[in-house]
Chain A
Amino acid sequence: DAGVTQSPTHLIKTRGQHVTLRCSPISGHKSVSWYQQVLGQGPQFIFQYYEKEERGRGNFPDRFSARQFPNYSSELNVNALLLGDSALYLCASSSPGRNSPLHFGNGTRLTVT
């Protein structure tokens, strides 16, 4: 079975632009989460979606938004990009149930210039 897939793998944007990152979960997984990892730090929680509804949101500005589609894939959108948004964006999925491990994709490396 395929793991969590993310696209694109790399992206370069300029300040003020908008970006859309995409994620396909492992087949059968209904929960998708997004994390941001800046250089030298551990990943930080941005969003969790389950059954197309936002279930949780981390401490990120409203420029960050996401959605989940009927096939459980997800998009992360970031508006008005800042230099500080440069990071590795990781998507993770988990199977239904409270205590299920998260499985991460390979990430999208975003550079804002």
Chain B
Amino acid sequence: GIQVEQSPPDLILQEGANSTLRCNFSDSVNNLQWFHQNPWGQLINLFYIPSGTKQNGRLSATTVATERYSLLYISSSQTTDSGVYFCAVAVTQGGSEKLVFGKGMKLTVNP
């Protein structure tokens, strides 16, 4: 099956710093989503981005589908950005579409 690799696995930042998260995937995908999972387990949609670039406040994402990677940028990080970030790609399996997740990247932003 498709492999989804995220890097780095963990990151510790000081408040105000910028960061880039990378997601590589091993095969063509239908689409790609970035999620933030808070300490209570809630998965929050950040971006639905099968290709191109999108921005939402301090966050932006770029997916280059032809080269099978996506990047998530966090600028001017805040302590509330702490949590686990997941990249997930949508693939077709039989008659359904499922998300295949990476292992996640744990971000800690210190005040």
Contacts and interface: CB of A to CB of B under 8 A. Distances in A.
Nearest to A48: B96
DSSP majority for the A interface? strand
Interface in B11-69: 30-31, 33, 35, 40-43, 45, 48, 50
A20 B98 CA distance: 22
A96 interface: no
Contact of A98 (B48, B86, B97, B101): B97
B30 A98 contact: yes
B98 A48 contact: yes
Given A56-B94, A98-B30, A101-B48, A45 B99 contact: yes
Given A56-B94, A99-B31, A42 B102 contact: yes
Interface stretch (A60-68, A70-78, A102-110): A102-110
A58 interface: yes
B74 interface: no
A55 B96 CA distance: 5
Interface centre among B33, B48, B94, B99 (most CB of A within 10 A): B99
B41 A103 contact: no
A90 interface: yes
A86 to B, nearest CB: 13
B109 interface: no
A79 to B, nearest CB: 23
Given A42-B103, A99-B30, A99-B50, A56 B45 contact: no
Interface in A27-55: 33, 35, 37, 41-45, 48, 50, 55
A88 interface: yes
Contact of B97 (A37, A48, A58, A107): A48
Contacts of B30: 98-99
Interface of A: 33, 35, 37, 41-45, 48, 50, 55-56, 58, 88, 90, 92, 98-99, 101-104, 106-107, 109
Interface of B: 4, 30-31, 33, 35, 40-43, 45, 48, 50, 86, 88, 90, 93-104
